[in-house]
Amino acid sequence: MPWTVPSRKRYHLITLGCAKNVVDSASMAQLLEGAGYESVDRPARADVLIVNTCGFIEAARQESLQVLRELAARKKKGQLLIAAGCLAQRWGARLVEEVPGIDGVIGTRRWMDILEFIERLRGRMVPEPLFHIPEDGPIRREEHGVLRAAVQGVSAYLKIADGCRRPCAFCAIPLIKGPAVSRPPEVIWAEARRLVDQGVRELVLIAQDTTDYGHDLGMRDGLPTLIEGLVQRVPEVKWIRIMYAYPGAVSDRLIEVMARYPQVAHYLDLPLQHGHPAVLRRMRRPANIEWVYRTIEKLRRAMPDIAIRTTFIVGYPGETEEEFEALIRFVQDLEFDRVGCFTYSYEPETPSARQPGHLPEEVKQERYERLMAAQQPISLRKNQALVGKTLEVLIEGVGDGLSVGRTYRDAPEIDGLVLVEGEWPVGQFLPVRITGAMTYDLIGVVEASPSPDRKAPPGIPLTLSPAR
């Protein structure tokens, strides 16, 4: 007789890690709710507990393990605990050894099988863990029909591809995800149309490498083609934002498309990882620093108001003090608008783990603090230059007499905010005059006579007075 659990249909889903995981979780939720499952906000009320884990770096792995252990410790009789996502894909059976109480492990390449996997767990003859983790092969193209954007307010993360073919020495993503698989453009365009019809105003394009979009489909320079199709099919979208561009792959055509269409936000996330060619070569990253200077110049010439975001890794194996100081000068010279920084994380299965010269944690942390200290006056100066100007701000939250929003210069969750006097309707774009600047955030007031935002999402009043 099969080992059974109650056939109620309530689930609790926890998402850890990056925006790509958020999209996968939204897609699993869509499948579950389409099959009659109800989402509940407390684990104790759920029949199925799912943790979409992150396994990218050690800190993320520890967070995933902690969440799984907490759920396993409180798991009630009849509940199912499923580990999904990147750590599930990467560790497989080891995850069950680390966290007794897990019922099933489903890899990141097979999230679209979540319903069938739950039924397999319910039909087990004995309560032993089950695994659904193909050892190789790319993400299945069958996911394209069920993948759903993760909507947050009037913004949506729109995944255009998954997996990566780049050889970065420090990165485990190709081991976890496999080579890049692009979603067909017509599928992305149709999803964008649906999202905008539902009130979404900002489409955030994400992938491990957005500039590699379409390579596996035989497209050349596919990202500009995809964006032009979006503009043609959803011309009323307010912002199309590009994240995770790859150095050396930002083409002249992409810059032209960004500059030509007002729907494309003048914003580019371009993770460079370092500013010294020797370190970049050890990282197996593009090491042509002159390309960076030329491309930044092209972007700023085509779009003088562009905000350029980048990220760096400090404390990479073998990084000398001289190489690190060159990175500081690189940052000061190019004056990026947004800078993120990470200390190098040892990843056992990556080529960087075998490279000589691993640095002590205290050295890595000290370099992190020095780099961020070098960027802070640049960030403050750029924000101060906006004082007195009027920018469109997307209102995302209200409370205590203030509203919080973002400009086109700020990506969701990772960049700065604008604190706006008064409580304004969430989801509207309003003209805000900037009155003050901090290192990362701005302060402003809504212009006295703003024009109505005629595309506020359904249910949000088109009022020009602060909400009471």
For the segment 409-464, what is each residue's pLDDT rounded down to a tens digit?
999 989 999 999 999 999 899 999 999 999 999 999 999 754 444 344 433 333 33
| Same domain? 240 vs 301 | yes
Q: How confident is the model over 340-360, as pLDDT tens digits?
A: 999 999 998 899 999 999 999
What type of residue sits at position 229? G
| Same domain? 314 vs 366 | yes
Looking only at the bridges linking them, the beta strands covering 429-437 and 130-132 are unpaired
73-77, 135-139, 272-276, range with the lowest pLDDT? 135-139
Q: Residue for token digits 């890690």?
A: 17
Tokens of 250: 């930002």
Average pLDDT over residues 47-53: 95
* Domain-embedded: residue 142: no
Q: Residue for token digits 């760096």?
A: 312
Q: Among the three residues 132, 161, 189, which one is the final residue of a domain in this structure?
A: 132
| Same domain? 105 vs 154 | no
CA 150 to centroid of chain Cα atoms: 10
| Same domain? 439 vs 314 | no
CATH code where residue 75 lies? 3.40.50.12160
* Domain-embedded: residue 79: yes
The verdict on whether residue 168 carries a ligand-binding annotation is yes
The verdict on whether residue 18 carries a ligand-binding annotation is yes
Domain count, the chain: 3
pTM, two decimals, is: 0.82
Mean pLDDT of the chain: 89
* Domain-embedded: residue 26: yes
The verdict on whether residue 341 carries a ligand-binding annotation is no
Q: 93 exposed, middle or buried (CB, 10 Å; 0-12, 13-18, 19+)? A: exposed
Q: Burial letters for 95-125: b for 16+ Cβ neighbours within 10 Å, e otherwise?
A: bbebbeebbbbbbbbbbbbbeebbeebbebe
| Same domain? 326 vs 257 | yes
| Same domain? 272 vs 194 | yes
The closest alpha carbon to 314, from 353, 336, 345, belongs to: 345
The string of DSSP codes covering 167-222 is: --TT--HHHHH-S-EEPPHHHHHHHHHHHHHTT--EEEEE-S-GGGTTGGGT-SSH
* Domain-embedded: residue 371: yes
| Same domain? 124 vs 110 | yes
| Same domain? 238 vs 162 | yes
Q: What is the percentage of the chain residues whose pLDDT exceeds 70?
A: 90
Q: Is the pLDDT of residue 145 over 60?
A: no
* Domain-embedded: residue 137: no
Confidence of residue 8 (pLDDT cuts 50, 70, 90): low
Confidence of residue 399 (pLDDT cuts 50, 70, 90): confident
The verdict on whether residue 54 carries a ligand-binding annotation is yes
Give CA–CA dist 348/325, Å, rounded: 28
| Same domain? 430 vs 376 | no
The closest alpha carbon to 330, from 295, 289, 291, belongs to: 289
Map residue 130 onto helix, strand or coil.
strand
Domain of 103 in residue numbering reads as 10-132
* Domain-embedded: residue 139: no
Give CA–CA dist 10/15, Å, rounded: 17
What is the maximum span of the chain, computed from C-alpha positions, in angstroms? 73
Q: How confident is the model over 182-230, as pLDDT tens digits?
A: 999 999 999 999 999 999 999 999 999 999 999 999 999 999 999 999 9
Give CA–CA dist 47/45, Å, rounded: 7
Looking only at the bridges linking them, the beta strands covering 390-399 and 429-437 are antiparallel
* Domain-embedded: residue 398: yes
| Same domain? 356 vs 397 | no
* Domain-embedded: residue 120: yes
Give CA–CA dist 103/15, Å, rounded: 18
The string of DSSP codes covering 350-396 is: SGGGGSS-PPPHHHHHHHHHHHHHHHHHHHHHHHHTTTT-EEEEEEE
Q: Which helix (H) or strand (E) holds 119?
A: helix 114-122
Q: 309 exposed, middle or buried (CB, 10 Å; 0-12, 13-18, 19+)? A: buried
| Same domain? 366 vs 237 | yes
Q: What is the percentage of the chain residues whose pLDDT exceeds 90?
A: 73
